[in-house]
Amino acid sequence: TVLAAVTAKKGTFHFGSTYDTFDADQSWFDGVFSTFYRHVVAENGCKWDATEPSQGVSSLTECVGAQSFANQFGNTFRGHNTFWHSQTPSWLPGSFSASQVVGTIIPQHVQAEIQGMGASVTSWDVVNEVVGDGVSAGMTSLQCVQNKGDWPTVTSDGSGVPLVTDLSFIFAAFKTAFQFAGANTRLAVNDYNTGGAEAKTACVINLIKSIQANTTIPFNRLAVGFQSHLTASTGGFDSKSALASTFSTLSALGVSAMITEMDIEVNANTTPNLRYQAAIWGDYLDACLFASNCFEFINWDPRDDLSWRGSAAAATLFDTNGNPKPAAYEVAARLQNF
């Protein structure tokens, strides 16, 4: 069955990286995104601050620019993201009541962005990083999300009472996304420090169940994005078997899994470090390739000099001169026949 899963993926597996229209060295991007990276996500251009700079005014120029770059080379495109506590527009949090945020502001934003970007988007991170880092096993979905504590204050009296008294803001985002997304677009909860047996992974999976129960969106339209910002030197990554177990749990529900933002900090471009980086990258890719429910694998920032983690982290697949690193050859070898 594992090999059958691999064969079944041929032509439907999306391997790519980030792009922003202000990225320089366009010739490098054109070359690598017409041969190696064949899936695109906007690093920043589809975030709320870019797409609704003033309330009720949709501005998709940056997001469409990234999608157009994908289309230029026959590549696919995914959306990141319609809701995140970071990079919100300057007019938020403002002095809106929670009911205004849930009833009007979020649905209006999600509709404008998803409808505006069209049905070809393979998946959307409908909510990004909504689960806290201090969660523990057994927490309810509400407790997992309240643990986050980064929410913009939205009460009408500006009292600073956080938005999260219930999960209605998440359900509203997903209901609207489902209403306006393409029929084949997967709708994801995206988060970091997840993938294995972490309490945060359990929270995300339970949140998916809560979303399905409260929105009646079919499980086969839902997905979990595992950002996978890893640190090799501290063992900050999951094993292939742990990932496979998590993906299998989601598969049993009918939910898709995606690796959405992979990079691996190795701190120094030494041969052993780069070899170790390649091994971990290969394990994550195989965990996805050999899972029947994993179709997207995105590498965050296409080369070291553009990495949000800084060049010294050597965290991406191409070095600061844009040359492929051992990990690039590793994933290319494992992607053969996909």
- Report the nearest approach of ligand G3I to the CB of residue 265 (Å): 12
Cα–Cα dist 326/278, whole Å: 6
Task: Report the residue closest to ligand G3I, judged by CB.
Answer: 308
- Report the nearest approach of ligand G3I to the CB of residue 271 (Å): 27
- Report the nearest approach of ligand G3I to the CB of residue 228 (Å): 10
Q: Which is nearer to ligand G3I, 129 or 238 (CB)?
A: 129
Cα pseudo-dihedral 20, 22, 23, 26, rounded to 10: 110
- Report the nearest approach of ligand G3I to the CB of residue 297 (Å): 16
Residues 6 or more apart from 66 whose CB is under 8 A from it?
19, 20, 21, 40, 41, 42, 45, 46, 77
Q: Which is nearer to ligand G3I, 254 or 310 (CB)?
A: 310
Cβ contact 147:198 at 8 Å = no
- Tokens 């997001």 correspond to 63
Q: Which is nearest to 50 in space by CA: 101, 116, 132, 95?
A: 116
Cα–Cα dist 47/90, whole Å: 13
- Amino acid at residue number 318: F
Q: Which is nearer to ligand G3I, 43 or 52 (CB)?
A: 43
- Report the nearest approach of ligand G3I to the CB of residue 147 (Å): 18
Written as six digits, the tokens of 203 are 């929270």
Q: Which is nearest to 86 in space by CA: 110, 50, 111?
A: 50
Q: Which is nearer to ligand G3I, 244 or 262 (CB)?
A: 262
Residues 6 or more apart from 37 whose CB is under 8 A from it?
15, 16, 17, 75, 299, 302
- Report the nearest approach of ligand G3I to the CB of residue 4 (Å): 33
Q: Which is nearer to ligand G3I, 86 or 241 (CB)?
A: 86
Cα–Cα dist 277/178, whole Å: 37
Q: Which is nearer to ligand G3I, 261 or 283 (CB)?
A: 261
- Report the nearest approach of ligand G3I to the CB of residue 47 (Å): 7
Q: Which is nearer to ligand G3I, 168 or 316 (CB)?
A: 316
Q: Which is nearer to ligand G3I, 244 or 258 (CB)?
A: 258
List contacts with ligand G3I (CB under 6 A): 43-44, 86-87, 128, 227, 261, 308
- Report the nearest approach of ligand G3I to the CB of residue 92 (Å): 15
